[in-house]
Chain A
Amino acid sequence: MSDNAARRLSRMFYRISIAIEAGKDHLSDLDGAIGDADHGITMSLGFMAVNAELAKLNLDETQPSEVFTAAASAFLDAVGASTGPLYAAAFRRAAQALKQDECLSAADQAMIVEAMTTGIKERGKGQRGDKTMLDAWIPATEAAVNARARSAGCLEMWNSILEAAEAGANSTRSMVAARGRAARLGERSLGHMDPGAASAVIILRAMKDTFGEGEPAR
């Protein structure tokens, strides 16, 4: 079994699914504090659907961009909700970005993070400080861009991406929600971490685990 780029991405989605599943109850509890308590369920449903869809692909003849495209529609069709369009937009953007260069180099990996963030930003019309998943994704993108600028190695880049995302997610505790259902709570949303930012950290950590292990020796 040759390990190609599509296969690595498929493994990445598989890891995300396992990690989200493990954190499902925690995410739903976070959401219960300021939303409708279904974030964990929704995310787990979405990534299970992505896995099932990717299992139908012949990964030996699939480009990484096609993996992201398939993931986008599978996630959206299974989920709807607000996370559906947001992550579908993220995956579609990543697919577009990868079409120029499908080799999944460190630069491509940074580009994926950046493109996903752009997709979420465009679809949700949100920005930093709104107490949403963008409060994890935007700092993660900045860390990726910085790491590329100082020619950091792959593992170093992912460490700084994850660190920035975690700090960003933690900072949502002190924010008042401006978007989504939590926005109606006003200052009562203070003190709670945004569940969307928490799941973004889980996703980025699974991406780090996949890309950080480098090219498997085969």
Chain B
Amino acid sequence: MTVKTSSARKNGTVRAGAEAASEPIPLRYGDDPYVWACWLYYEDHMTQGDIAEIMGISRATVNSYLADARARGIVNISLEPSRLSSLSIAQELKRHFGLHDCLVVPSDDNTRPLIDRLGGAAAQALAKLLKSGDTLAVAWGRTILAIGEQASVPGLQDVTIVQATGGTAASFAYTPELCASAIAGAVKAKLINITAPAVVSTAEVRDMLLRETLIQSQFGALAKANKALFGISSLRPNSTIHTSGFFESVSLQQYLAKDAVGVVAGRFIDGQGKPVAGPLDDRTIGISLDMLKAISLRIAVAGGFDKVPAILATLRGGYVNVLITDAATGRGILNADGVTELDQKLSQRPRVDNTVALPSNFRTHIKKFLNDPNDVVEEMLDGVVKANATYVMPIKGSHRALVARTGPRPGKVGLVVGGGTGHEPCFLGYVGKGLADAVAVGNIFSSPPPGTIFQCANAASGGQGVLFVYGNYAGDVMNFEMAAEIAAEHNIEVRTVVTTDDIASSPLEDREGRRGVAGNFFMFKIAGAACDRGLSLDACEAMTRKANARTFTMGVALEPCSMPQTRRQNFEIGPDDIEIGMGIHGEPGVLREKMMSADAITDRIMDRIFSEMKPAAGDRVAVLVNSFGATPLMELYILFRRVEQRLSAKDITIEANWVGHYCTSLDMVGASITVMHLDSELTELLHHPCDTAVLRIG
């Protein structure tokens, strides 16, 4: 809990005590006895009796000064909202329903109405959750109005509040218009109303209204909402829904007869959260349940025991991911869903004691640009979809499956790549014309699931089959194989080339067991060109296999990488050590050596590459010097310099080269060198034009 007085903290204290008693108010408080009294009470922690003595007034007056100061906003007491989420009921709700967050207001002695208390908690939460640039869809109800009355969210820019439903002529105080305008006032945001009735007389009237340009533009604003704030109404006899007169009672009875238990943003749902069809559906103007679900942050504020079935239904239906409720209701929801006895177990969880003395310069966490560590992949993809909008678009709204805007076309073999994140610009930077048609995106260092990969195959398919190209990792192999099985069921023929360019990862006898690393860059390029030239599925597969057989990569790590979730280095490496043969997931290298010069490291790598590639004088190659994430271009060029020296000493020509971040491992310090041994076919395909976010040729 923090207490703020509106005067700034000064150095001196008022411990001068009794001799100041008869003094007038000291200058630094101006002439405001309220500020003086509050300072002495909250900042100097004096008793009301002491204050009365110092100020020369009665104790009762001090008491009333303090109360008035609260009422007049001279003193603001705020409770850190995250503390409310630390309660065990909140944690259980969050875990049980997979919520993004949950705040639970402690139960009290009922001196304040529950709606006011929920409104206050939600008002404070809103100040945390709302950010500049947000569009917030606001539904209506008594709770929502209570939030608007208590909220104050200053300092945000470009926030838009959109009324989530049409309006009403009803005489109650918490109409959709008033709720939206109360929130907009509290946030000092731009307000967009839906200037149509929430419920109209017929479906024809609704359709006509929805065709109006003005209404269309208002719905356009609503569709842009990235956050939503709504209450949950129960359908029990004395609920708002009945008493407000918002809905005709005849219609309500029909929804009740079909087992509706609650209303969310003017839409009826059953106990499992499924929409209940009824007479008002096509006469309602407002946000649909599908639109609501598509909003990324969906804040529901509701409490009261009679609302338990309705809130449970809303949770089951997935309409909410931030729930604000009270302790009694929260417990009721958990009990209603069969969660009992487990809260004791939760509280008995052992706490890890981290009180070991560490040197003052010791870091336990790596600094990273993060909001919520659990949101890194989603937030990155949000950025990618916007930044690379000219090249890629989401498949069926999922950022985990992206398709090239000018990629797939009838008669062309589709190319699908993919893998875990943390390797950017791999894999999603290589989607575009002449390269990959679609990319499946997994969690950090984790393969995407089969469903996502199949969506990509489906989107990439032009009727001539689909080629999967991905690195050789147990997880990727299993998920891509399952996706290929699903594709076969949908009559899409899939061929697979698993890349195995990392020569350090297994001996030559076990070439198929090697992992795929930065050489993917070349395999994708060759495969993309083969597909774009309209070659058959057989030929595309053969070209890609050839590229894989003639591509050799080896990496060296100087420092480990760190996962965003832990912000700790994911393995240890001695101060003077380097890991040779490092993979792109921070897997420990195959061999640990002492640090050596850049040329010596390059030589170690090139010697191994030459021994496998067996080049002849006059051969041509393509070279990739790739950073693992944290190694700067400066050092990459130093490595490239030595690569070029070694190649030209063997009279090998570099046909094309790339130096930079092409296949990374988060923030690992290190680099890999890849050489593709060209022949005439591969050279031609390498130069074939392509246009992607990361690579453009021609």
Contacts and interface: CB of A to CB of B under 8 A. Distances in A.
B262 interface: no
Contacts of A28: 563, 566, 570
A80 interface: yes
A56 B316 contact: yes
A18 B345 contact: yes
Interface string B446-467: 1111111000000000000000
B587 interface: yes
B339 A14 contact: yes
B41 interface: no
Contacts of A21: 95
A104 to B, nearest CB: 15
A181 B449 contact: no
Contact of B563 (A41, A83, A185): A41
Given A7-B338, A36-B586, A52-B98, A81 B450 contact: no
B587 A77 contact: no
Contact of B474 (A18, A22, A124): A124
A175 interface: no
Interface in B458-494: 473-475, 478-479, 482
A10 B315 CA distance: 16
A48 B98 contact: yes
Nearest to B337: A55
B587 A184 contact: yes
A31 B478 CA distance: 20
Contacts of B316: 55-56
B335 A1 contact: yes
Contacts of A183: 513
Contacts of B337: 55
A216 B330 CA distance: 24
A22 B348 CA distance: 11
Contact of B590 (A25, A49, A83, A185): A185
A80 B479 contact: yes
A81 B505 contact: no
B342 interface: yes
Contacts of A168: none
Nearest to B478: A85
Contact of A80 (B98, B346, B352, B446): B446
A36 B352 CA distance: 23
A58 B273 CA distance: 10
Contacts of A188: 588, 590
A44 to B, nearest CB: 9
A195 interface: no
Contacts of B318: 56
Nearest to B335: A1
A182 B345 CA distance: 34
A181 B585 contact: yes
Interface string B331-354: 000011111101001100110100
B308 to A, nearest CB: 13
Nearest to A74: B98
A45 B95 contact: no
Interface residues of B, number: 56
A124 B583 CA distance: 22
A77 B442 CA distance: 10
Interface string A58-85: 1100000000000000001111111111
A56 B445 contact: no
B338 A37 contact: no
Chain A CB within 10 Å — which of B316, B475, B505 has the most? B475
Nearest to B586: A36
A108 interface: no
A184 B515 contact: yes
A1 B475 contact: no
A123 B479 CA distance: 10
B443 A55 contact: no
A79 B482 contact: no
B446 A81 contact: yes
A199 interface: no
A13 B338 CA distance: 13
A81 B338 contact: no
State the main secondary structure of chain B at its contact with A: loop
Nearest to A22: B349
Interface in A82-111: 82-86
Contacts of A58: 271-272
A79 B317 contact: no
A53 B337 CA distance: 13
A181 B338 contact: no
Interface in B550-597: 563, 565-566, 570-571, 583, 585-588, 590
A35 interface: yes
A58 B513 CA distance: 46
Contacts of B317: 56
Contacts of B446: 38, 42, 79-81, 84
A76 B449 contact: yes
B96 interface: yes
A11 interface: yes
A56 B98 CA distance: 11
Contacts of B610: none
B474 A180 contact: yes
Interface string A19-35: 00110010010001111
Nearest to B566: A28
B108 to A, nearest CB: 27
Nearest to A45: B443
Contacts of B352: 25
A186 interface: yes
Nearest to B316: A56
Contacts of A84: 446-447, 449, 475, 478-479
A10 B96 CA distance: 10
A17 interface: yes
A81 to B, nearest CB: 4
Given A14-B96, A36-B445, A84-B447, 9 more contacts: A28-B566, A32-B570, A38-B563, A53-B98, A55-B96, A80-B475, A82-B478, A84-B449, A84-B478
Interface of B: 95-98, 271-273, 315-318, 335-340, 342, 345-346, 349-350, 352, 420, 442-452, 473-475, 478-479, 482, 505-506, 513, 515, 563, 565-566, 570-571, 583, 585-588, 590
19 contacts: A1-B338, A14-B339, A36-B586, A42-B443, A48-B98, A51-B96, A53-B98, A56-B316, A57-B272, A58-B272, A77-B449, A77-B451, A79-B449, A80-B443, A80-B452, A81-B420, A81-B447, A85-B482, A184-B515
